[in-house]
Amino acid sequence: MSGDIRFRPEGALLRTYLTAAGIAPDSFKKPMIGVVTASTQMFSEKPDARELGNAVISGIEASGGIAVRWDTTRSPDLMAWGHAESFSFAWRDQLADFIESWTRQQSLDGLALVGDAPETLAGMAMAAARLNVPAILVTTGPNRWEFGSSNGADAQKKKIFSDPFMLITETLFKDKKAKKKEDAEHQVDWFRECLLTKDNHAANSIDLVLEALGVCLPGMSTAPSQSARRHELAFSSGERVIALVKGGQSFRRFLCANAFSNAIRLNAALGGSVDVAVHLMALAHEAGMSLPLDLFDRIARETPQICRLGGVGEKEAHRIEDLDRAGGVWAILNTFRDSVLPTTTINGKGASELAKSTVVKDPQVIMSRRPYHKESGVGVLRGNLALNGAVFLLNQVVSELAVAQGPVALFENEIEAAEALCAGRVKKGSLLVVRGQGPRGGPGLHKLRVLPALIQSRGWNKVFPLITDGRLPDTPAGLFVSLVSPESAMNGPMAVLRAGDWIDVDTKARQLSVRLTETDLRVRMARWQSPEPKMKRGFLDRYSRSVSEVHEGAVLK
pLDDT at residue 2 tops 70: no
pLDDT digits (tens, 9 = 90+) for 394-427: 999 999 999 999 999 999 999 999 999 999 999 9
Q: What share of the chain is helix, strand, coil (3-state, %, to 5)?
A: 45, 15, 40
Asked if residues 538 and 444 have their Cβ atoms less than 8 Å apart, the reply is no
| Distance of alpha carbon 474 from the chain centroid | 10
Gap between the Cα atoms of 452 and 163, Å rounded: 10
pLDDT at residue 121 tops 60: yes
Q: How many CA atoms lie within 13 A of 311 on its CB side?
A: 24
Asked if residues 372 and 395 have their Cβ atoms less than 8 Å apart, the reply is yes
pLDDT at residue 310 tops 80: no
Q: Give the β-pairing of 466-468 and 431-434.
A: parallel
Q: Are residues 69 and 173 in the same domain?
A: no
pLDDT digits (tens, 9 = 90+) for 250-309: 999 999 999 999 999 999 999 999 999 999 999 999 999 999 999 999 999 999 999 998
Kindly state whether residue 349 falls inside one of the protein's structural domains.
no
Kindly state whether residue 282 falls inside one of the protein's structural domains.
no
Confidence of residue 159 (pLDDT cuts 50, 70, 90): very low
Q: Give the β-pairing of 466-468 and 480-485.
A: parallel
For residue 168, the surrounding DSSP H or E stretch is helix 164-172
CATH number of the domain bearing residue 436: 3.50.30.80
Kindly state whether residue 490 falls inside one of the protein's structural domains.
yes
pLDDT of residue 157: 41
Q: Are residues 131 and 162 in the same domain?
A: no
Under DSSP, the state recorded for 389 is E
Question: Residues 384-407, buried b or exposed e (16+ Cβ, 10 A)?
Answer: bbbebbbbbbbbbbeeebeebebb
CA 278 → CA 208, 374, 405, 477, 481, distances in Å? 15, 24, 27, 21, 14
Q: Are residues 44 and 179 in the same domain?
A: no
Q: Are residues 383 and 524 in the same domain?
A: yes
Rounded to 5 degrees, what are φ and ψ at 403?
-125, 120
Q: Residue 349 burial (CB < 10 Å; 0-12/13-18/19+)?
A: middle
Task: Tell me which of 342 and 202 has the higher pLDDT.
Answer: 342
> Which of 164-173, 268-277, 467-476, 523-532 has the least mean pLDDT?
164-173
Q: What percent of the chain has pLDDT over 90?
A: 66
Asked if residues 432 and 456 have their Cβ atoms less than 8 Å apart, the reply is no
pLDDT of residue 146: 41
CATH number of the domain bearing residue 126: 3.40.50.2300
Q: Are residues 80 and 187 in the same domain?
A: no
Gap between the Cα atoms of 186 and 165, Å rounded: 16
Task: Tell me which of 166 and 65 has the higher pLDDT.
Answer: 65
Q: Are residues 113 and 191 in the same domain?
A: no
pLDDT of residue 5: 67
> Which of 6-15, 120-129, 214-223, 383-392 has the least mean pLDDT?
6-15
pLDDT at residue 464 tops 50: yes
Count of the separate structural domains present in the chain? 3
pLDDT of residue 210: 97
Confidence of residue 319 (pLDDT cuts 50, 70, 90): confident
Kindly state whether residue 547 falls inside one of the protein's structural domains.
yes
| Domain extent at residue 183 | 152-197
Q: Are residues 477 and 522 in the same domain?
A: yes
pLDDT, mean over the chain = 87
Q: Are residues 55 and 193 in the same domain?
A: no
Under DSSP, the state recorded for 9 is G
Gap between the Cα atoms of 108 and 60, Å rounded: 13
Kindly state whether residue 64 falls inside one of the protein's structural domains.
yes
Asked if residues 86 and 540 have their Cβ atoms less than 8 Å apart, the reply is yes
Asked if residues 167 and 37 have their Cβ atoms less than 8 Å apart, the reply is no
pLDDT at residue 83 tops 80: no
pLDDT at residue 500 tops 80: yes
pLDDT of residue 73: 79
pLDDT of residue 156: 41
Q: What percent of the chain has pLDDT over 70?
A: 84
pLDDT at residue 148 tops 60: no
pLDDT at residue 61 tops 80: yes
pLDDT digits (tens, 9 = 90+) for 11-41: 777 778 778 877 888 777 889 999 999 977 6
> Which of 81-95, 324-338, 438-452, 526-540 has the least mean pLDDT?
81-95
Q: Give the β-pairing of 403-411 and 502-506.
A: antiparallel
Q: Which of 163, 180, 197 is the last residue of a domain?
A: 197
Q: Are residues 193 and 54 in the same domain?
A: no
pLDDT of residue 532: 83
Task: Tell me which of 503 and 141 has the higher pLDDT.
Answer: 503
Kindly state whether residue 363 falls inside one of the protein's structural domains.
no
Gap between the Cα atoms of 195 and 400, Å rounded: 31
Q: Are residues 64 and 166 in the same domain?
A: no
